[in-house]
Every structure is written in structure tokens, then in C-alpha cells.
Amino acid sequence: MSTTLTIPKLEMSMSEGTLAEWKVEDGATVNEGDVIYVLETDKTARDIEAPASGKLIQKAAAGELYDVGTEIGEIV
């Protein structure tokens, strides 16, 4: 079962966020709880952990601003 990664709504007021940096390379194996990317909002930068274990497939470039809900990757 794969897990889709989308830009999460971290706070009530959040509508978009910047995928500042992927912390894990495309195609690498991650364990649930590993930090996989850094998400920047207007308030803060936050480490986002893997919600599942598996192979990370990146689908969005770092350094870009995305709307909440945009698919940015997958863990398969």
C-alpha cells in the first residue's frame, strides 16, 4: 500500500507552504518517523516525518511554494 504525500495543513491559518528541502534522496528507503523534508510556512520551518516506511518517490521540486493538498511525493 502506498502513502501519498501532500502539503499538509499544519495550522488553521495555513493555505500554502514551501517545500524548502528534501532530507531524503529520491528513491531512498525511509522508516516511519524519519524526517523526509522541511516545510516552511510564513510562521516557521518544520521537519516533516515519514508517515510510513518504504521507498520515497519525490514528485515535486524543492524550493517551490505549493498549495495545501498538493501531491509532492509518495512512499511505496
Contacting positions for another protein (CB under 8 A): 3-12, 14, 32, 43-44, 46-49, 51-52, 68-69, 71
Residue type, 13: S
Query: Closest distance between another protein and the C-beta of residue 2, in Å?
Result: 11
Query: Closest distance between another protein and the C-beta of residue 65, in Å?
Result: 16
C-alpha cell at 48: 516533516
Q: Is the dihedral of CA 70, 16, 14, 46 positive or negative?
A: positive
Chain Cα centroid distance, residue 62: 10
| Nearest residue (CB) to another protein, 21 versus 32 | 32
In degrees, to the nearest 5, what angle opens at C-alpha 49 toward C-alphas 30 and 24?
A: 45
Query: Closest distance between another protein and the C-beta of residue 14, in Å?
Result: 8
